[in-house]
Amino acid sequence: MRLILMGPPGAGKGTQAAAVCHRYGIPAISTGDIFRTNVSAGTPLGVTAQTYMNAGEYVPDEVTNAMVRDRLTQPECRRGFLLDGYPRTVEQVKELDQMLADLQVQLNGVLVLNTDPAALIQRLLDRARTEGRADDTEEVIRRRQEVYADQTAPLVSEYNARGILVSVNGNGRVDHVTDRIHTAIARLGR
Ligand code: B4P
């Protein structure tokens, strides 16, 4: 199973990626999580990523692409993977196409979580209270939504044109969204 999970900040990508990966026994490649781990460890990658993330901007494509290429070539990804939050730009789509061609594998589907805009902001403000992430201030949350609309939303049409896009209602309880995702995955390729 090779999947992409897309959706605006707060749509539930990280939350649902964990459930999907548990069910299918595949690793989640979450670019946001990898960046945060590197920021915490103070690695050179983390130092580069931190400035962009704290401002709500995307980390430069060449940095993100190299990181994903490295992960996809590791043995744990041979049985499949779920890309959580990657690709996010047209350039990343092109690069991912090349990585998959090099590995001689294809995507099974691209899941996009559609969640009401007001709920997105509220979820992230709630998370700010519990986790205190540097990019969960109201100003940065709004900037992240703008960046998504500008740079990532166009990717939905691209994958739709390829016939591999599945839209999933991201509103409501976490377990209800998980059930919808499992139903959508079960229908893939039929
Ligand atoms: P991410 O870590 O991907 O952050 P995100 O878009 O906010 O999504 P996240 O997965 O954390 O939140 P989720 O929707 O699951 O990216 C962070 C930053 O890293 C980016 O802004 C960028 O700077 C950089 N980055 C990452 N990938 C990149 C790339 N490819 N290229 C360039 N830069 C990149 O959940 C949000 C909250 O909602 C959680 O608190 C969760 O508990 C809650 N929630 C989830 N589902 C819910 C539900 N059904 N009901 C109620 N609450 C729910």
Catalytic pick from 69, 71, 78, 144?
144
Kindly state the tokens that stand for 148: 């998504």
Tens digit of each residue's pLDDT (9 = 90 or more) over 125-136? 999 999 999 999
Nearest CA to ligand 1 atom 26: 32
- Ligand 1 binding pocket (C-beta < 6 A) is 9-15, 31-32, 35, 52-53, 56, 58-59, 64, 85-86, 88, 92, 123-124, 127, 135, 144, 173-174, 177
Tens digit of each residue's pLDDT (9 = 90 or more) over 94-149? 999 999 999 999 999 999 999 999 999 999 999 999 999 999 999 999 999 999 99
Mean pLDDT over residues 7-28, rounded? 97
pLDDT the model gives residue 179: 98
Mean pLDDT over residues 161-165, rounded? 96
Q: How many of the other CB atoms lie within 10 Å of CB of 117?
A: 11
Measured from the Cα of 147, ligand 1's closest atom is: 21
Residue 62 CA to residue 89 CA, distance in Å, equals 11
Nearest CA to ligand 1 atom 19: 32
How much of the chain, in percent, has pLDDT values that exceed 70?
A: 99
Residue 64 CA to residue 99 CA, distance in Å, equals 13
Is 80 exceeded by the pLDDT of residue 190? Answer: no
Residue 12 CA to residue 108 CA, distance in Å, equals 20
Checking 16-23 for CB contacts under 8 A at 24+ apart, the result is 16/113, 16/174, 16/177, 16/178, 16/181, 17/82, 17/84, 19/178, 19/181, 20/82, 20/178, 20/181, 20/182, 20/185, 21/82, 23/182
pLDDT the model gives residue 125: 96
Is residue 69 annotated as a catalytic residue, yes or no? no
pLDDT the model gives residue 188: 87
